[in-house]
Amino acid sequence: MKMLPFLAVLALLCTPIAPILNAQTATGAAPTLPCDGVYNVGRISEITPTGSLDKFMAAVAAHQAWYKSHGFPDIIFASRVVTNDPKTGKMALSATEVMTYHLEKPNGPPTVHDAAWDAYVKLYNDTSTIKETTLSCIPAAYAPASLK
């Protein structure tokens, strides 16, 4: 009997948190959390052997274009991850890791997936895999003016 509560806690600790970190719920609406600024959905993606940085950046551009064409003020961009060679101590831009940023207003209107949405998601899937996703709240003082 004492083992049951332990197993329940262990199960909760082992539950993947990625669904919690998605910027949208199953209904497509942004999560309702106390955030006085803007959300950032940060992702570290790895370019696959069959992908390329150029194809990944095309996915980022298509992603931003989808939000703009649907009237959302969201800002989506990517940056190359900087790596440090432990043997030489030299830093370099990674050829395979990219960090994307998706800034959006809290409690914004829900998104509706359509063919263009599926197309940009396919571009990402064809060229990369997501290694990590983090949802954060950027304070209003640091939020881009276009999202205030």
The pairing of strands 91-104 and 128-138 is: unpaired
Identify any residues that bridge with 40 across adjacent strands, giving them in sequence order.
103, 136
In a domain, 86, yes or no: yes
Tell me which residue range forms the domain holding 63.
Answer: 30-147
Identify any residues that bridge with 80 across adjacent strands, giving them in sequence order.
98
Cβ atoms of residues 67 and 24 within 8 Å? no
Tokens of 4: 């049951």
The structure's pTM equals 0.76
**Torsion angle of alpha carbons 19, 22, 26, 29, nearest 10°?**
150
In a domain, 7, yes or no: no
In a domain, 12, yes or no: no
pLDDT digits (tens, 9 = 90+) for 28-49: 555 567 899 999 999 999 999 9
CATH of the domain at 60: 3.30.70
What is the residue-level pLDDT of the chain in tens, covering all 148 positions? Answer: 454 433 333 333 333 333 333 444 444 555 567 899 999 999 999 999 999 999 999 999 999 999 999 999 999 999 999 999 888 999 999 999 999 999 999 888 888 899 999 999 999 999 999 999 999 999 999 999 999 8
Domain count, the chain: 1
